[in-house]
Structure 1
């Protein structure tokens, strides 16, 4: 956790945040307990580095807003389910015959 060593043996990504919190704690340990809240933002930064909860919540909110916007404005020229399943070829036998005929003449 706060050992300072990452997976590859170097400094971990969150160790600078941990050092910053410890420095804040040492500086503020002799003050009034009400004023020890000075280190809360630094501690939150360290926890965010470890767990990415705020970042994940922000990503979920963005995805939700994107889905809501997509639902509010459906695509104008969206293909129908039938044309997707048939790739647009069902009911076009004449065109298919012409394409096959042209391909056989080229060969």
Structure 2
């Protein structure tokens, strides 16, 4: 049985360009080409569990990043406060250093 290979975003993009240039287009190829590649080496994309939290935390960081030093502990504390404000069910999220690293990416 052949080994399964996962393509990076950059490889997927190159494949789409090749397919479009070789008259093998589908609507999915067009959609893929219109997406901005943020991390070209990424092989997996995880969905955001609570998009409202991500947007609120991003806004907080953009507002305060030039006023103070935002430590990891401070960002996690703010995320926990935002979860309470957004009434996210308890236990839905676990705020760890790994969670914060993925958020930063």
TM range (shorter): under 0.3
TM-score between both structures, scaled by the size of structure 1: 0.27
Considering Cα pairs closer than 8 Å and 6+ residues apart, tell me whether 1 or 2 has the greater RCO.
Answer: 2
| Greater gyration radius | 1
TM-score between both structures, scaled by the size of structure 2: 0.27
